Amino acid sequence: MFPALHAKKVILGISGSIAAYKTPLLVRALVKAGAEVQVVMTPSSKSFVAPLSLSTVSNKAVYSEFVESEDELWNNHVDLGLWADLMLIAPASANTLSKMAQATCDNLLLAVYLSAKCPVYFAPAMDLDMHEHPATQDAIQRLISRNNIHIPAQEGELASGLQGVGRMQEPDQIVDFLEQDLSSKMPLLGTKMMVTAGPTYEPLDPVRYIGNYSSGKMGYAIANEAASQGAEVILISGPADDLAIHPGVTLVQTKTADDMHTACLRHFEDCNILVMAAAVADYKPKHVEVSKIKKEEEITSVELVKTVDILESLGKKKTSQVLVGFALETDNELSNAKEKIKKKNLDAIILNSLADKGAGFQHATNKITFIPALGEHTAFTLKDKSEVAVDVLTQIKTMIDA
Ligand code: CTP
């Protein structure tokens, strides 16, 4: 099982080393692990392995030139660099390592490397003396210091007949290395998470509703961060702003508190963690008019009824799920928030204070206090909501692991 590599978009950069003859097996192993592989070759690597073998096993055209001569198509290195979830340069020859370290850009592989925003792994392969040379070691260290991830060459018999360090790791070992490294950075791998976000709209008539100013930013940030940490995420959203979502997030759009409740019930049994960040309306109009209310009708009041408390209802159904709510308070903040933990049978609540500048609805920032049902609360400073999402998930994970 390779859950961390599953559905990952991988650029495999192949440079000119004899170890390139193993790359069709490497592509096969990556594809078997569930990855989508795009091969980019340096011109000299084509002397060691046929592009046709690589395009056959990757099921994609192989790129090696900025412009493909057959069809005059431009291979956009920037798009390629942005497309990838990770880039693996294997084998990384002494020449390519040195150019990567110096930002030389004289072939497509190097241009893609310089454009890549994703983690880059490199697996050196060369003869013993070349590998030992201080200039090569210096290039490797410089790449490591810039957060490129080194898959060290192994000791063994080299193509020259010499014995020593310089062999590229075997394809299966490289895939195991990637899987382990990626998993270590995905603490929520194997977790099913449900997140709610945004406001709810409670209709008065076909053109009017009762709603609130929630933008959905906090819930979306938590959902996106959870997905990037490996969780399978269902995001149940009210009518929020049009916000970006991570490919690992499944979006379920809802409108009213009742819709959101139905969607939550559908997915609740299956989830391990629920974070209820939605600003659910507490009241809805008792009657929804079928036609638009006219001015002449002289309506001076609207009768309201309470909406379902979604979190409280899920708290009653809870078996092994971890439930985390939000509390928006203006006074007696800590005690009110703690009261909600009990009332709704929660494991923790995240307190937002309307007294804090830059926190709460609409803002790109938030200031929270994480209050577990058991143990001490932790207050955080004002941060961007994407950073708050990291804090929230770290707190939840720490609480679960305790
Ligand atoms: N919540 C919910 N269903 C509702 C109202 C709130 O699921 N009908 C959830 C919110 O998503 C939040 C938590 O309950 O995670 C607390 O919401 P909050 O508005 O702070 O508190 P209320 O329970 O609505 O109480 P009050 O408005 O009186 O403070």
DSSP one-letter string for 196-227: EESB--EEEETTEEE-----SHHHHHHHHHHH
Q: Give the sign of the dihedral formed by CA 143, CA 148, CA 151, CA 157.
A: negative
Residues 155 and 15 in one domain: yes
Specify whether 212 is catalytic: yes
Q: Is 367 within a domain?
A: yes
Q: Is 1 within a domain?
A: no
Q: Give the sign of the dihedral formed by CA 272, CA 275, CA 276, CA 278.
A: negative
Q: Is 2 within a domain?
A: no
Q: Does the pLDDT of residue 331 top 90, yes or no?
A: no
Q: Does the pLDDT of residue 76 top 90, yes or no?
A: no
pLDDT value at residue 402: 87
> What pLDDT digit, counting tens, does each position of 246-290 carry?
988 999 999 999 999 999 999 999 999 999 999 999 999 999 999
Residues 173 and 222 in one domain: no
Residues 391 and 250 in one domain: yes
Choose among 3, 1, 24, 2: nearest CA to 248. Answer: 3
Q: Give the residue, by CA position, lying nearest to ligand 1 atom 3.
A: 309
pLDDT value at residue 236: 98
Q: Is 319 within a domain?
A: yes
| Pocket probe mutation, ligand 1, options 282, 329, 353, max atoms within 8 Å of Cβ | 282
Tell which wins on pLDDT, 223 or 158.
223
Q: Does the pLDDT of residue 299 top 90, yes or no?
A: no
Q: What percent of the chain has pLDDT over 90?
A: 84
Ligand 1 nearest-atom number relative to CA 328? 20
Choose among 241, 248, 242: nearest CA to 224. Answer: 248
pLDDT value at residue 151: 98
Overall average pLDDT of the 15-32 stretch: 97
Mean pLDDT highest for which of 19-23, 328-332, 398-402? 19-23
User: Of how many residues is the chain composed?
Assistant: 402
Overall average pLDDT of the 101-112 stretch: 97
5-9, 52-56, 138-142, 273-277: the lowest-pLDDT one = 5-9
pLDDT value at residue 300: 87
DSSP state of 175: H
For the sheet containing 36-41, what is the strand order? Answer: 36-41, 9-14, 86-92, 120-124, 149-150
Mean pLDDT over all residues of the chain?
Answer: 94
pLDDT value at residue 13: 98
Q: Is 3 within a domain?
A: no
Tell which wins on pLDDT, 2 or 53.
53
Q: From the CA of 330, how far away is ligand 1's center (Å)?
A: 14
Residues 100 and 206 in one domain: no
Q: Is 263 within a domain?
A: yes
Whether cis (ω within 30° of 0) applies to the bond prior to 285 is no
| pLDDT band (50, 70, 90) for residue 311 | very high
Residues 196 and 254 in one domain: yes
Q: Is 4 within a domain?
A: no
What six digits make up the tokens of 72?
């005059």
Residues 117 and 99 in one domain: yes
Q: What is the pTM of this model?
A: 0.81
Which CATH number belongs to the domain containing residue 103 in this structure?
A: 3.40.50.1950
pLDDT value at residue 83: 93
Q: Does the pLDDT of residue 71 top 80, yes or no?
A: no
CA angle in degrees (0–180, nearest 5) for 142-143-149: 140
Number of H helices, E strands in the chain: 13, 23
Which residue, of 148, 164, 184, is where some domain finishes?
A: 184
Look-up of token digits 């200031």: 367
Look-up of token digits 């961060």: 225
Residues 269 and 132 in one domain: no
pLDDT value at residue 57: 98
Ligand 1 residue neighbourhood (C-beta within 6 Å): 257, 276, 278, 280, 282, 307, 309-311, 325-328, 340
53-57, 76-80, 195-199, 232-236: the lowest-pLDDT one = 76-80
Q: 189: helix, coil or strand?
A: coil
| pLDDT band (50, 70, 90) for residue 102 | very high
Q: Does the pLDDT of residue 235 top 90, yes or no?
A: yes
Pairing mode of beta strands 36-41, 9-14: parallel
pLDDT value at residue 73: 76
Tell which wins on pLDDT, 92 or 3.
92
Structural domains of the chain, count:
2
> What pLDDT digit, counting tens, does each position of 172-214 carry?
999 999 999 999 999 999 999 999 999 999 999 999 999 999 9
| pLDDT band (50, 70, 90) for residue 329 | confident
Q: Which domain holds residue 46?
A: 9-184
Residues 133 and 255 in one domain: no
Burial-class residue 381 by CB neighbours within 10 Å (0-12, 13-18, 19+): exposed
| Pocket probe mutation, ligand 1, options 218, 326, 342, 350, max atoms within 8 Å of Cβ | 326
Residues 355 and 215 in one domain: yes
| Pocket probe mutation, ligand 1, options 309, 344, 350, max atoms within 8 Å of Cβ | 309
Tell which wins on pLDDT, 270 or 357.
270
DSSP state of 63: B
Q: From the CA of 277, how far away is ligand 1's center (Å)?
A: 9
Q: Does the pLDDT of residue 292 top 80, yes or no?
A: yes
Q: Give the residue, by CA position, lying nearest to ligand 1 atom 17.
A: 327
Nearest-angstrom CA–CA distance, 330 and 9? 46
pLDDT value at residue 356: 75
